[in-house]
Structure 1
Amino acid sequence: MSMSGMNMGSMGNMSMGDGVPNLFYLQKMYWAVVGSAIAAGTVVNLYNRLLAFQRLRDSTLTPSKPKSLFFSVCATLTAIIREASYATLPAWSIRGRTFHFAPLGPISIILANLIVVLVFCFYKLDTMDQWKWEDVGYRTGFVAVAQLPLIFLLAGRQNIIGLLVGMSYERLNWYHRWISRTLWLTVTIHMGFWFRNWGRYDYITYQLKNDPLSKRGFAAWCILTFIVLTSAAPVRRLSYEIFVLQHLVTFVGFIVAVWLHCPAEVKVWVWIPIGLLVFDRAARYAWATYANLSIFHRSTTRPRHALWANQASFTPLPGNVTRISINNPGVRWKPGQHVFLTCHSVVPLQSHPFTISSIPEDNKMEFLVRAEKGGTRRFFHYASKHHHVLGSADSTPAKSARTVFIDGPYGRMRPLRQFDSVVLLAGGMGVTFVAPCLRDIVAGWKAESMSGNASPGRASRLTATKRIRFVWVIKSRAQLSWFEEQLQSVLSDVEECQRANPDLVREVELSIYVTCDEKLESQPQVAQGPCSQPQPESTIVNTRQNTAPIKTSETMDEKRTKKDDVSIHSISKVSSTASTPQDGCLPNGGCCCTTAIEDEDSDRITEHNCCCSGHAATTKPVEPEPEKPTAKTAPVKTKPELPLLSGRPQPRTIIRKVLEKAEGESAVVVCGPQGLSDDVRRSVVYLSDERAVHKGTGAQGIYLHVETFGW
């Protein structure tokens, strides 16, 4: 083996038989296939950018509708591809655990890569011929090492492939993991055929003990196996910090072992990944230097001669959530993007990805961070111990702001302002992604109304969107306080836009569902969660019209926090009447909070007393005392009411109603638990097929963006 291993480089140009391509040629062919796929994605990305530009320049009343044969043909092909790529298999439940599957689109790309790799590994080689086993070993080794650059291209945050195809690095990271598993399979085949060849002479143990090349190759396989196992989702989510640290360490060990195992002729495939890693790190550090050093930015809120540009305040919120606010940050961002946040004074030597929950018009970068474990829990403990009690008149932090460092922003999706109608669905903390998208479109409407660009016939516009449907599913009513003011502001801004331009369609419909279902998985027709015991505090969701601000009570998560010597009180503590076992329960003993709401309009005229989601106290509407108008005082302006419902939303019904009014391509954006995302994905596929989108019926296309959170 030693001699054959030393001659591995020369094997690249040697013929293995009539018509059998040499090893270097197969490596080039693999990258010809990969390059073609990236080029196709780049063309699609450029077309989408052209489409967005064309829609915002369209002066007609239906800018998001195809108006030429070319765009109609493209829309038809897009609709057909979307239906196939968005489809997903139903989730499997095994022993209380639910397993979800990726959509068919990404799966088909991974399977295509796997097929290409296996074809190149065995093309014109007889695996049954024992004299060809050594050739298979060489072939698979060359194909395996050629995959390394692709894996590293998909792993970087400053991602070249993502820039070309218009995808964010976290989406490409899914491909990174699965192509790494394909690499592991290729390397295992490579090692297996060498073992098979040595096994004929009982030579495996001798080779591993005495041949340095075999030792290094086996070490590389062991390290790669460890990386693949520890990258599995259940292991990866145990501790994000530990995963990142061990991933970097094992990566270095793997690259060193591969470099020592490969001959000089193929070491270029190892140097390319190293160069990509250096580029990613250099680009990130250069951008981080610009974003965090104060010499590049001016600020009136930062102390003079301060070295660092970003100072953050920490505020505790109901539900063990921390609001982190950075005034006048050093970077700009778009709705739906995220940054990696570091605060060494609170959580040293850790960096966590957080979605930006504000929009640039706020002039501050805000994050809502749920305290899970590790660094996020330390953020909440710090905010709780160094902040005034919630509900007090003084809401300013009791301690000065802390220096933070940001890496980003990251994240890409198609701009939502180009679509005729937009459906936004969020579950729990997923609202941090969806709410900025809502506010950004409304901000565009408001800017158009103020500048006069909203008039028909203008050469350009800020947004082509006419209708927005916003749905937020929360487990308890206390969570509403996270975005209550922002959502009320949205409704007020839309009313102003409608008064300023009554001839233009500007519609926003909001629904907030309160449910005791945490994961939003598919439920049976009859809810199985009985209300067997009285609850000390019940959530009564009043959907009738009132003008009183919604108040929240202490959450169960906050009660558990007291065990850690952290006392957090809600904005308003009010007494509640203990619910009886019948409150909020269906006649058969089920829970009304998990009941699917088929018709929101009919449900809004009733009250639901839900004892299952009793994390917030019952609040009675308190009408403000009318203030007598005088010559110096204006009448009090009440805030719009946010419509609340108790139960589970039906995404298919919600999306269908929006599509029936759409006069152009629509967008559906969802961020939340996997159960909600799968339900929305299946609903979009079903409705696209039901309405025969762009197949002669006149129905318009549906763009779907599913944002996942968590590692």
Structure 2
Amino acid sequence: MDMDMGSMSGMGGMDMSSTSMFTPANKRIAQIYWYLVAAAVGILVLTRMIDLLRLRLAQRQPGVIPFRPENLFAQTYDTMIAVCREISYPQIWTFTGKYSRFFTPPPLGRCLLLLIYWTVILTMLWSNTILGPSSANYAYRWEIVGFRAAWVSVTQLPLIYILSGKVNIISILTGISYERLNWLHRWVARTIFLTLIVHWSFFFREWDIAHFVKLEMDMMPMVKYGFGAWAVIGWVVLSGFGFFRSACYELWFLQHLIAAIVLLWLVYVHVPIYARYNVWSSVGVVVLDRLVRTLRTVVINCRLSPSRKGGNQIRRRRIGYDAEVKCLSSEFIHVTVRDVNFSWQPGQHIYLTIPRAGPFEAHPFTIANVSRLSSPQDKSDRLELYIRVHQGFTRRLYRLCQGSERTPTFLSFISGPWGVPTSIGRFESLILVATGNGASFTVPIFQQASMTTTHLRQISFIWIIPDSRHLAWFRDQLLSAAGSALLRNINVSVHVFVTRPGRDSNPQSLEGNPLLEHKYEINCPEAEAASEGPQGSKQAILSREPSTEKDFSHNGQEASSLWTSSASNDSPTIILGTGRPDLDTLIRPVVEEAFGETGIFACGGAQFTDSMRNYVASLSDERAVHKGTAAQGLYLFCETYGW
């Protein structure tokens, strides 16, 4: 980013004439860059406003189904959106090795966006900078590229810090949650690292030709700061790969934060005064983000007066919350934060700090229940988390409660809630698919949808778990949500698949199992048989032959039995089965019967969500959604756990 390096008697020193000659064009390039960023954000804002307008118009007209095209404009718009989704969803390669999985490329849509971004950067970098011998500025052929690369690099700097913040202007305007922009934050940083190589290598080549590399270093201390900035961003890029983040997240986060601050200082010292506005913009973004987050955290964790319930005062902490930690197994713990005084939306998450497990550590966890302020059925003011035990914070938390006869309670602090969940009011049909504790994401959405949505006609909830005991986590919530949906004439089906049933595969062993109420109906279906569920809808046969997580269908043996909770036709039912399901037989009927847009929400590991991406893209293309057929829109939202 040595933008003040000119030629001193043709030897690469400071020469204001060359600087003033290059600067106007480079400033225009910087302006064009931000115009393009603003245009991209503007397109996203426009689509968001159109969607909100269509949803409000549909809500004012009870007989109108949201996002079902009724005119030429809506049909054209929805066709364009369907094509964009089919292009953006597919995951071309998914690596599953212990180390190779960290090199899985982004989905196709993100790859195309990166290709467009790099095309813009390369155009900015090389336009009018490649000079021939006949050019009047041929003597500056190395410098002009070095200067241009410096401007292209430093101009991108504020975008890195914007994309890294939880409170950022892009999320506020577009409604895209900050964590879904983090991948772009990393790739912009990698792009800057490469353009910086172009910057210093062209200047270094000029110095080498003139044989005064050492003289340049001695005369211009700012050059050393420039190399320092490049080294820091190189380290940030290298350490930003998933392998390092997952190895020790706490240490990674600390060094990443320090490196981000040091980088701003090095760039500030290195660049000339007229380019420092990029540094100050970045500082402003960081300060705003940290200020809002700090104020929000203080307000949530500090309370001035005790609450009252039934005329009696309830003792509670004035600072922080009581968090009960319970060991569910060697792999999972359940955290219940009592007496919370804020609300949240399904799909949001918090950052939890428990000083006994890590005084300066805050880790993100998805909230597994609905807020009492948004759920008339839930009168308790608690917040629940289901956490998989890994290394570091979660392992220490597990050890604190391991072997305790009574559920221990710890002082805790909360930051959040964070995230911008997708509105489910737009969907006519809803499909929720989760693996393991991914149900922490889908169950609250199920609860909210069953109580509040007005146009929803059918819901399919699918949960894939390794152990039937996990069903106890959300049994009551699932039955309650299904009952609420049935009362509102919503066609609902709840499927739970146990992939490692063990002795649970024997129906007789379930007779005393408290996971479902009362008795069990035991059916022994043959191939092609089916069980009638609530509302008369057919339930797919469950396969017990295991398959890889990325496969949605197989030709294995049919399950030997099917179990449901004993209920009448208008009572909520949970259908249990063993093995991995053929998801196509569960998802396709809902999609084909939809009168409007279908929302598909999937939560699980990267391999599972990548498979969902490919499946939904293929299904949309196969049914020719909004391409002259009656097939309605498919919207996919993937929440991925892990790196």
* TM-superposition CA deviations, 1:596-634 (whole Å, max 9, x none): 78599x946x239xxxxxxxxxxx9999xxxxxxxxxxx
The normalised TM-score by structure 1 is 0.77
Contact between 1:56 and 1:418, CA under 8 Å: does it hold in 2?
A: no
Can you give the 5+ residue segments of structure 2 that lack an aligned partner in the other structure?
7-11, 517-542
Contact between 2:605 and 2:642, CA under 8 Å: does it hold in 1?
A: no
**1:53-132 alignment, distance < 5 Å:** 53-60=56-63, 62-92=65-95, 97-98=100-101, 100-126=104-130, 131=139, 132=141
2: distance between equivalents of 1:415 and 1:387?
A: 42
In the alignment, what sits opposite 2:21? 14
**1:150-161 alignment, distance < 5 Å:** 150-161=159-170
Matched, 1:328 2:339: yes
2: distance between equivalents of 1:6 and 1:364?
A: 66
1: distance between equivalents of 2:119 and 2:297?
A: 40
Q: CA deviation at 1:369?
A: 1.0
In the alignment, what sits opposite 2:627? 695
Task: Go from structure 1 to structure 2 and tell me whether the alpha carbon gap of 1:410 and 1:226 turns closer, same or farther (over 3 Å shift).
Answer: same
Amino acid at match of 2:169: I
Matched, 1:681 2:606: no
Amino acid at match of 1:328: D
Q: Could you tell me which of 545, 570, 580 is aligned with 1:592?
A: 545
2: distance between equivalents of 1:302 and 1:333?
A: 25
* TM-superposition CA deviations, 1:629-675 (whole Å, max 9, x none): xxxxxx99x99653222222233333211111101011111110112
Q: CA deviation at 1:286?
A: 1.0
Can you give the 5+ residue segments of structure 1 that lack an aligned partner in the other structure?
389-396, 445-461, 499-503, 517-536, 553-589, 609-619, 624-634
Q: CA deviation at 1:464?
A: 1.4
In the alignment, what sits opposite 1:37? 40
Task: Go from structure 1 to structure 2 and tell me whether the alpha carbon gap of 1:662 and 1:61 turns closer, same or farther (over 3 Å shift).
Answer: same
Task: Go from structure 1 to structure 2 and tell me whether the alpha carbon gap of 1:643 and 1:227 turns closer, same or farther (over 3 Å shift).
Answer: same
Q: Could you tell me which of 421, 442, 445 is aligned with 2:429?
A: 421
Q: Could you tell me which of 509, 518, 538 is aligned with 2:493?
A: 509
Identity of aligned residues (%): 31
2: distance between equivalents of 1:440 and 1:682?
A: 27
**Secondary structure at 2:21 match in 1:** coil
Task: Go from structure 1 to structure 2 and tell me whether the alpha carbon gap of 1:97 and 1:118 turns closer, same or farther (over 3 Å shift).
Answer: closer
Contact between 2:316 and 2:339, CA under 8 Å: does it hold in 1?
A: no
Contact between 1:308 and 1:403, CA under 8 Å: does it hold in 2?
A: no
**1:261-410 alignment, distance < 5 Å:** 261-295=270-304, 298=307, 300=309, 304=315, 306-308=317-319, 310-360=321-371, 361=375, 362=378, 363-388=381-406, 397=407, 399=408, 401-410=409-418
Bigger Cα displacement from structure 2, 51-60 vs 404-413? 51-60
Task: Go from structure 1 to structure 2 and tell me whether the alpha carbon gap of 1:95 and 1:308 turns closer, same or farther (over 3 Å shift).
Answer: closer
In the alignment, what sits opposite 2:575? 643
Amino acid at match of 2:422: R
**Secondary structure at 2:298 match in 1:** helix
1: distance between equivalents of 2:193 and 2:622?
A: 42
Amino acid at match of 1:434: T
2: distance between equivalents of 1:224 and 1:345?
A: 34
* TM-superposition CA deviations, 1:382-406 (whole Å, max 9, x none): 2234443xxxxxxxx3x4x333211
Task: Go from structure 1 to structure 2 and tell me whether the alpha carbon gap of 1:95 and 1:339 turns closer, same or farther (over 3 Å shift).
Answer: closer
2: distance between equivalents of 1:296 and 1:119?
A: 60
In the alignment, what sits opposite 1:455? none
Q: Could you tell me which of 517, 541, 559 is aligned with 2:505?
A: 541
Matched, 1:478 2:469: yes
1: distance between equivalents of 2:98 and 2:247?
A: 20
**Secondary structure at 1:331 match in 2:** coil
**Secondary structure at 2:128 match in 1:** coil
Q: CA deviation at 1:122?
A: 1.0
Contact between 1:668 and 1:702, CA under 8 Å: does it hold in 2?
A: yes
Matched, 1:443 2:446: no
Matched, 1:220 2:229: yes
Backbone CA RMSD of aligned residues: 3.3
Task: Go from structure 1 to structure 2 and tell me whether the alpha carbon gap of 1:60 and 1:548 turns closer, same or farther (over 3 Å shift).
Answer: farther
Matched, 1:165 2:174: yes
2: distance between equivalents of 1:591 and 1:203?
A: 73
Q: CA deviation at 1:61?
A: 6.4
Contact between 2:346 and 2:421, CA under 8 Å: does it hold in 1?
A: no
Q: CA deviation at 1:304?
A: 4.5
In the alignment, what sits opposite 2:209? 200
**Secondary structure at 2:384 match in 1:** strand
Q: CA deviation at 1:63?
A: 4.1
**Secondary structure at 1:348 match in 2:** coil
Q: CA deviation at 1:104?
A: 1.9
In the alignment, what sits opposite 1:241? 250
2: distance between equivalents of 1:9 and 1:173?
A: 40
**1:547-566 alignment, distance < 5 Å:** 549-550=513-514
Q: CA deviation at 1:195?
A: 1.5
Task: Go from structure 1 to structure 2 and tell me whether the alpha carbon gap of 1:598 and 1:218 turns closer, same or farther (over 3 Å shift).
Answer: closer
In the alignment, what sits opposite 1:491? 482
* TM-superposition CA deviations, 1:154-182 (whole Å, max 9, x none): 11011210111111111111111101111
In the alignment, what sits opposite 1:526? none
Task: Go from structure 1 to structure 2 and tell me whether the alpha carbon gap of 1:665 and 1:551 turns closer, same or farther (over 3 Å shift).
Answer: closer
Task: Go from structure 1 to structure 2 and tell me whether the alpha carbon gap of 1:109 and 1:685 turns closer, same or farther (over 3 Å shift).
Answer: same
